[in-house]
Structure 1
Amino acid sequence: MSTSPGTANWIKLIILGLIWGSSFMAVTLALQGLGPVTIAAVRISLGAASLLAIISVMRIGLPSLHNGQGRVIWLCALGMGFFTNALPFTLLSWGQTYVASGFAGVCMAVVPLFVLPLAHVLVPGERMTLNRALGFAIGFSGVLTLIGFKAFASAGSDFESLARLACLAAALCYAIGSIITRLCPSVNLLSLSAAALSCGAVMIVPMALWQEGLPSLPQGQSLLAVLYLGLVPTALAQVLLVQVARSAGPSFLSTVNYQVPVWSVFFGALLLNETLPPQLFAALILILGGLLLSRAPAHRQRP
């Protein structure tokens, strides 16, 4: 794999940042008419249906199950469906019932910090350098500032603290999902995206029905928000995510989270009139500072 991600991947990364940054605002609007698990189920199902229709029209088809490589691809799709869709979407939707959309977006800045040690162990060429280790330490201090020490002392009654931890757990899920995506064997990217979302839908729909029952049709902004979530931050973003992770690697993909907090805070403050706590901005500075240090090229010593 080339050390340079290329212009196309940078453009896709910027688009992903804008899309994912706006998704937190859309979740807040969708929560006006649907439960958090139902939102996750609907957006994943819409995304899966959209990509299945596209690959059917293009006559691409899903990965085969009749050979060893095909079964490995489906196993990766299952992991992607769980770690990049079903679990994090549920955690974020539930978390946003107690925290602002901007806070949830800032939590996504933690994703690269989780990717660093995972990629060092699992992905060839993604070694933990000194800069990355120092960046990890600085960024982790930002994480502690972000969630507050009360989150660790919570006995279960402080749902805001639990919601903060849920948002951070979603960030860890995305990190694991990006590693799985990179390690998946070679396969058509649209086919892999459709398989991953289909697996996510199969997992989350029964859970949503069990937890929240059959939903009534949402109205107004809630309906528009969930349709947007299914078609753009889920279906379109899944395709872009797979393309970038496969061609440029999970560490480069994780840098999309430099943008996500900025966009999420911008949309939340501008369109939802959210008031954000002061420590959020201090945490953002620490996290982004750590991330930038971790991406800085290492200086070679002279012989």
Structure 2
Amino acid sequence: MFLANKKWVYLIVLSLIWGSSFILIKKSLLGLTPFQLGALRNIITGLILFSLGFNKLKTIKKKEWKWLILSGFLGSFIPAFFFAIAETEIDSAVVSILNSLVPLNTILLGFAVFNIVSTKRQILGVVVGFIGTALLILKGADLNPNQNYMYAGFVILSTVMYATNVNIIKRYLQDVKPLTIAVGNYAAIFIPAVLVLLFTDFFSKSTFQNPEFKMSMLYITILSFFGTAMAKILFNKLVHLSTPVFASSVTYVMPVVALMWGFVDGEGFSFLQGVACLIILFGVYLSHKKKS
């Protein structure tokens, strides 16, 4: 009973943190380019995690490194850039909605690639949640007809990477502690992130003279600490405690939080979107509800 409740606590906390990350990306882009934002997010997060558990690297076995490296690029490095690029054209709330494709991809990849079997109830929960997501997307398109939804492709590709990552953690890194996984991930992607930042105009005079620069740095620091470093550890713990499908269902609850932030920031929100949010929450419940 305690373990079941603990899973839900992790799910709710992660939803609040990650649901808020989309508005932080949007605000960070006011003074940074997408590539600067992605690189800084990986660098700052890496520094935070190294300060928390750099000594954990020596506990990683040689056979685990290839999965940690792959997990780092698929679960952190590439999506950090892709989400920033997507939000240059699409509202932050819509991006969070598209991110809800992760559980569906987790089931499909888990079954097709990793031989991880999902129950009929989990599949039903994902389908119900996906219907809610579709309603949110359709209504979002109605409210924002001038947005370039081609950029949604960056988010969809990221959901495939996230789904692959959660299956890798469950299948190959189950015995590695959550903090160790996070530190190992960023040990692999830290130098590539630094190289990307060096090839941007981040260190030019014009960047520092941008009136939005200081606030953007504050937002990206908050995003890196809470939305990436702390959330990575919590998510890895959630994967260990539950199934890949339940862990990835955090992306079904995140849009509820993101839509609220979007509404506060002037993005559109309608009654139908509220209904769709309730359908999503019901899908999450079904995906984890045990048989009588």
Q: Give TM class, smaller chain.
A: 0.7 to 0.9
Equivalent of residue 129 in structure 1, options 98, 101, 119: 119
Is this contact kept in 2: 1:22–1:267, CA < 8 A? yes
Q: CA 1:142–1:165 in 2, change beyond 3 Å: closer, same or farther?
A: farther
CA distance in 1, matches of 2:285, 2:130: 13
Change (3 A) 1:198 1:213: farther
Give the letter aligned to residue 232 of structure 1: F
Is 1:274 matched with 2:267?
A: yes
2:182 to 189, 193, 199: 193
| Partner AA of 1:177 in structure 2 | N
2:250 counterpart residue number: 256
Q: Which runs of 5+ in 2 are unaligned?
A: none
Tell me the distance in 2 between the aligned counterparts of 1:136 and 1:288: 10
Indicate the percent of aligned positions where both proteins have the same amino acid.
24
2-side partners of 1:288 and 1:14: how far apart? 11
Q: What whole-Å deviation, never above 9, does each CA across 1:116-170 have from its counterpart, x for those lacking one?
A: 122234556x52333344445555555655556xx9xxxxxx9712222222222
User: Number of residue pairs matched?
Assistant: 279
Q: How does 1:189-228 map to 2 (within 5 A)?
A: 189-210=178-199, 212-215=200-203, 216-217=207-208, 219-228=213-222
Cα distance, 1:113–1:77 mapped onto 2, change above 3 Å = same
* 1:114–1:172 contact (8 Å) kept in structure 2: yes
Query: Which is richer in helix?
Result: 2
Q: Relative to 1, partners in 2 of residues 1:277 and 1:87: Cα closer, same or farther, differing over 3 Å?
A: farther
CA contact (8 A) 1:76 1:184 kept: yes
- Using the TM superposition, name which of 78-87 and 177-186 deviates more: 177-186
Q: Name the aligned partner's letter for residue 245 of structure 1.
A: V
Deviates more, 1:189-198 or 1:36-45: 189-198
Structure 1 unaligned residues grouped into runs of 5+: 65-69, 152-157
Matches within 5 A, 1:15-164: 15-56=13-54, 59-64=55-60, 70-121=61-112, 126-140=116-130, 160-164=148-152
Superposed CA offset, 1:73-98 (max 9, x none): 21111122111111111111111111
- CA pair 98-282 structure 1, distance change in 2 beyond 3 A: farther
Per-residue CA deviations over 1:264-287 (Å, capped at 9, x if unaligned) read: 1111211x1112588766765665
Q: Which amino acid in 1 is paired with 2:178?
A: L
Shift of 1:55: 1.8
Residue 26 of structure 1, CA deviation: 0.5
Distance 2:286 2:11 in 1: 19
Counterpart for residue 239 of structure 1: 233
The CA deviation at 1:179 is: 1.0
Contact 1:98 1:163 in 2 (8 A): yes
Question: 1:63·1:73 contact (CA, 8 Å) conserved in 2?
Answer: no
Counterpart of 2:5 (choices 7, 10, 18) is 7
Between the aligned partners of 1:38 and 1:175, the Cα distance in structure 2 is 25
**Letter of the 1:238 counterpart:** K
- RMSD of aligned Cα (Å): 2.9
